[in-house]
């Protein structure tokens, strides 16, 4: 007792403090050694973000489209997969569980190099769809694991009860099972969104530089040694996940999802 609050404050400070210089860089016009704060402030960073030539706005759109699609698809795949590993006891269940997790254990780069040939063959390379598909690789394992745990805790008698009340299998899924799994779905969706949002290597390989997501733009800006542009982009990349985590915490607070801990942040 008594240590909880200072520790939490320390933790939050540790997470948020690195953002302070980032913010400072983003609005600085001139910041030379040994100044503690920028000598001159400037709106250049913000202007770069909104300039059509920088492709940042289209990058935001591409990133959002890809990450939302990946989160939705990963949850759609993770739902039946999670049910299989969470509910059914079958021969080879451990193996299936391992295979589901394999893409996380095996470096994504190795897997992607292996399957990129097929992406090119099927015309999926350098397309947004291709990037979405390849990003399912690192996300589906998380969705399946989170939903598998949720299914293991789910009382399937709810589904039997719904059937006995005249609800068919599809309606039972929509009106009973999915609402019961809501906290886990929010969490799985959030994880997948975050993984996808920050994905760089897979996007670069399969997107072949044609699919410009925010991480790709960010790396380009860093490479160009324009610190203000890189910092402004960095802030833009960091903000949506922070907002989403806050929103998810709010959605989960006071529900069974609070047990997951996220609701208390």
Nearest approach in angstroms of CB 265 to another protein is: 23
Cα 238 to Cα 23, 234, 246: the distances in Å are: 11, 6, 13
**Closer to another protein by Cβ: residue 34 or 155:** 155
Of 45, 222, 204, the closest CA to residue 126 belongs to 204
- Asked if 166 interacts with another protein (CB under 8 A), we say yes
Sole binder of another protein in the list 36, 37, 95, 165 (CB under 8 A): 165
The burial of 46, by beta-carbon neighbours within 10 Å (0-12 exposed, 13-18 middle, 19 or more buried), is given as middle
Buried-state track 133-153, b at ≥16 Cβ within 10 A, e below 16 = bbbbbbbbbbbbbbbbbbbee
Name every residue whose Cβ is closer than 8 Å to that of residue 61 and which is 6 or more positions away in sequence. Answer: none
Nearest approach in angstroms of CB 123 to another protein is: 42
Q: Binders of another protein among 167-226, rule CB under 8 A?
A: 167-168, 171, 175-176, 179-180, 182
Q: Which stretch binds another protein (CB under 8 A): 13-21, 67-75, 151-159, 230-238?
A: 151-159
Nearest approach in angstroms of CB 185 to another protein is: 12
**Closer to another protein by Cβ: residue 107 or 168:** 168
- Asked if 164 interacts with another protein (CB under 8 A), we say yes
Question: Residues 217, 56: contact at Cβ < 8 Å?
Answer: yes
Strand partners, 40: 30
**Closer to another protein by Cβ: residue 114 or 169:** 169
Size of interface with another protein, in residues (CB under 8 A): 18
- Asked if 157 interacts with another protein (CB under 8 A), we say yes
**Closer to another protein by Cβ: residue 47 or 171:** 171
Q: Binders of another protein among 28-87, rule CB under 8 A?
A: none
Of 101, 94, 84, 90, the closest CA to residue 152 belongs to 84
Of 185, 202, 205, the closest CA to residue 256 belongs to 185
Q: Which residues bind another protein (CB under 8 A)?
A: 155, 157-158, 160-168, 171, 175-176, 179-180, 182
């Amino acid at each position: 007792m008594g240590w909880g609050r200072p520790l939490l404050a320390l933790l939050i400070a540790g997470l948020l403090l690195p953002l302070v210089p980032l913010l400072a860089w983003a609005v600085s016009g001139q910041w030379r050694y040994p100044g503690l704060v920028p000598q001159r402030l400037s709106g250049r960073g913000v202007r770069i973000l909104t300039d059509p030539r920088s492709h940042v706005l289209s990058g935001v759109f591409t990133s959002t489209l890809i990450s939302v699609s990946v989160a939705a698809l990963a949850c759609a795949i993770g739902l039946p997969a999670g049910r299989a590993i969470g509910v059914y006891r079958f021969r080879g269940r451990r193996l299936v569980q391992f295979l589901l997790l394999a893409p996380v254990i095996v470096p994504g780069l190795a897997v992607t190099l292996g399957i990129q040939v097929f992406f090119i063959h099927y015309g999926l390379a350098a397309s947004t769809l291709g990037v979405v598909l390849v990003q399912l690789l690192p996300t589906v394992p998380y969705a399946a694991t989170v939903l598998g745990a949720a299914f293991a805790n789910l009382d399937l008698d709810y589904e039997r009860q719904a059937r006995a009340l005249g609800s068919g299998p599809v309606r039972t899924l929509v009106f009973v099972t999915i609402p019961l799994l809501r906290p886990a779905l929010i969490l799985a969706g959030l994880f997948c969104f975050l993984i996808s949002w920050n994905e760089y290597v897979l996007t670069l390989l399969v997107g072949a530089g044609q699919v410009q997501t925010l991480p790709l733009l960010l790396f380009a800006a860093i490479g160009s040694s324009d610190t203000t542009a890189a910092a402004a982009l960095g802030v833009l990349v960091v903000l949506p996940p922070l907002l989403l985590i806050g929103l998810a915490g709010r959605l989960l607070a006071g529900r069974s999802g609070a047990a997951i801990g996220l609701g208390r942040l």
